[in-house]
Chain A
């Protein structure tokens, strides 16, 4: 089930919300847990049991760490191995086997066909965050299984984050209220997120997907640039839209989920970009990988190595493919050379640094998006050497884009932070929670609902009875 589906918007959400609103608070956690399990099982009817097993094991690990402090480190390591084993098996086993076969030059073992459970990367990292925080003494082990289960499986952030640390939410799990203000603020945030996903990301994605699916030989330089720019905004609005919806839904149910995006395309360096993009993931890697490795406290060389490891893992976390690893290391490379002196040069000009960041990130998204490295490099070559790839009709781009695409692209550019940055503070404050904004949100919601209904329309040209 996804937030931008009719069944979520018109069945799951109103039923869960209304029932949760009227049941006694002491049953709320159990009810939300049940709703979250139904939410997950809707898309993973079998693998929901895997998540439940993961929850139970992590709860036991947390209790074990707290009870047997002297063996805490061993129990923690066992817990982390358990979590990473599940993640490794379901997400990386096939990739690993294909690497082994490739290195040995023959099929030593068949590549397994393992279905990837939705959201496994997110809930596994949340589970590790929980047991690590218990070990570090940041929080006590939760006595109630239901509370740990709710933390790990809470439906707003279960399948696409943000990755919430247990200590950031444990008090709210034990004590919270649904208030009219929270519901209103949350619903407003949810509408913005839904609009980002349905009205911006999905529209841009249609054209981007078509262009990326074309035969590499038929794409010229202009089409390559169009595809990469469209995807740059598609992924931003898809991911940040989903985070907005998660934060909004959390707020409606009485939870304050931390922010996950902060206008990342306004950043001036790659380092700054990663403090604004998928903030919860960067925070997780910083706290549980970078700092334990020594962070920047052990000299420059060690710092760069640690950064390399973090970005390697960041890439790998996103997917089991060389393209994701290269993408991660690509960002790591720029992060390192910025520390080595590039940042000082970039600091001299805001314009140049903004252009630099967008250029680097945009090219990076091509590697992220493409299925194999060879095509990705060919694609980037077309972008960087336009004089060599001028073939094809530029007008043919209009086969894949239309007035709606152009309008949405313009809105996307403005909405990436340009309006927010340059709008006077006075107007921004007057707009927020104002009547005109309410009308605007109402229209956005109606447009989203109409677009979602439109997506269910599947006519046949001939009678198909």
Chain B
């Protein structure tokens, strides 16, 4: 090998293998080191003789979370996968048509199984859900609270035209069948799918780069709930819709491309919605007061992350709104709020969790 080439390989070894950590320290302020992973990075472990067998894996986790130029490298890997090979760098993200992203994780519900109809509920499960829902509804009615069970459909089922052709769409999912069964038992469950499908050609209802519905989709959902209780609502066409630029989304974050490829999204809001900040009563438990609301009633919303976009719509119509994530909820909160209405929300891919609804709602 020529001397010159020898020196070049040596330089490559020094620059890319020996020096990255030092280079990272030098260029620290120019490098993106933000946390896009929604988790706390692994801490540097202390070495103890008692737990030394765990030290290698813990140190390796810490090292991996603190790689030099980490975000740059991850983005580069994702960018090459996406732009050159039209592939997803994450097994949990499915690349759809027209730059849409969908959720392929099978450990957080299973949106694809819902989409393809490969995960039916058994008769025993349906019966158990009926029993739980009926019991919860009755117990709440005894407390003077009207229940509405809301199951926002997965984005994949609302925007199936953007799903890749390799997935076979089944018109009716297990959740659709379950909702029918619950309705037959006079359980107050709201079927949002058709309402959303009917409005999606007029308004964007879900984020293309996120798993969630946006405020417009949530508004359609909230109106369906209110209409079911006999309350009139304004159609979206009667309202002023605002849009602002929005980078990325949870799915784009999984590819670490929120700032590179998927930075051209939009956030929609309704000008006439309530925009107050509310009061934090405890961890995650929020209270909103809108004295100008047409419905002088109290509503309590217990749900997952899909609940957040419903806040403006509910606060527009109800004078008192309580919102809490399922993970932070306690029965004491319900007693404290003393609502007229309770909305229990489960996104479709987690609709099997409905079977535990009663114990969650009434757990003390």
Contacts and interface: CB of A to CB of B under 8 A. Distances in A.
Interface of A: 1, 5-7, 9-11, 13-14, 17-18, 41-43, 45-46, 180-181, 183-185, 187-188, 206, 393, 395-399, 402-405, 407, 433-435, 438, 441-442, 445-447, 449-451, 453-454, 456-465
Interface in B1-37: 1-3, 5-10, 12-13, 16-18, 20-21, 36-37
8 contacts: A184-B10, A187-B12, A395-B165, A396-B166, A405-B87, A407-B85, A450-B76, A453-B77
B220 to A, nearest CB: 23
Given A454-B89, A459-B36, 6 more contacts: A403-B85, A449-B16, A450-B74, A450-B77, A457-B256, A461-B211
A43 to B, nearest CB: 7
A465 B40 contact: yes
Contacts of A456: 64-65, 67, 70, 74
B275 interface: no
Contacts of B331: none
Given A10-B67, A446-B16, A461 B166 contact: no
B90 to A, nearest CB: 8
B37 A449 contact: no
A450 B80 contact: yes
B164 interface: yes
B168 interface: yes
Contacts of A434: 5
Given A402-B87, A459-B37, A454 B73 contact: yes
B253 interface: yes
Interface string B100-144: 000101001000000000000000000000000000000000000
Contacts of A41: 56
Interface string B66-89: 011110011011101100011111
A10 B68 contact: yes
B88 A461 contact: no
A304 to B, nearest CB: 47
Contacts of A403: 85-87
Nearest to B62: A7
Contact of B88 (A42, A180, A402): A402
> Which 4 A-B residue pairs are closest in the complex by CB-CB distance?
A453-B73, A454-B77, A184-B9, A398-B166
Contacts of B10: 180, 183-184, 187
Contacts of B256: 457, 459
B164 A398 contact: yes
Contact of B78 (A187, A454, A461): A454
Contacts of A188: 9
Contact of A14 (B17, B40, B86, B168): B17
A202 B122 CA distance: 38
B231 interface: no
Nearest to B253: A459
Nearest to A463: B38
B13 A183 contact: yes
Contact of B64 (A7, A395, A398, A407): A7
A20 to B, nearest CB: 13
A9 B73 CA distance: 15
B161 interface: no
A9 B253 CA distance: 26
B250 interface: yes
A393 B168 contact: yes
B308 to A, nearest CB: 11
A265 B206 CA distance: 50
Given A184-B6, A433-B2, A6 B12 contact: no
Which among A396, A457, A464 has the highest number of chain B CB atoms within 10 Å?
A: A457
A51 to B, nearest CB: 16
Contact of B254 (A11, A46, A459): A459
Contact of B37 (A7, A10, A450, A458): A458
A399 B56 contact: no
A462 B38 contact: yes
A1 B73 CA distance: 21
B56 A45 contact: yes
Given A184-B9, A438-B8, A449-B73, A395 B166 contact: yes
B60 interface: yes
A434 B1 CA distance: 9
B39 interface: yes
B52 interface: yes
Contacts of A450: 73-74, 76-77, 80
A180 B40 contact: no
A456 B8 CA distance: 29
Nearest to B36: A459
Given A404-B81, A404-B85, A461-B105, A42 B9 contact: no
B73 A180 contact: no
A9 B21 CA distance: 12
Contacts of A397: 166
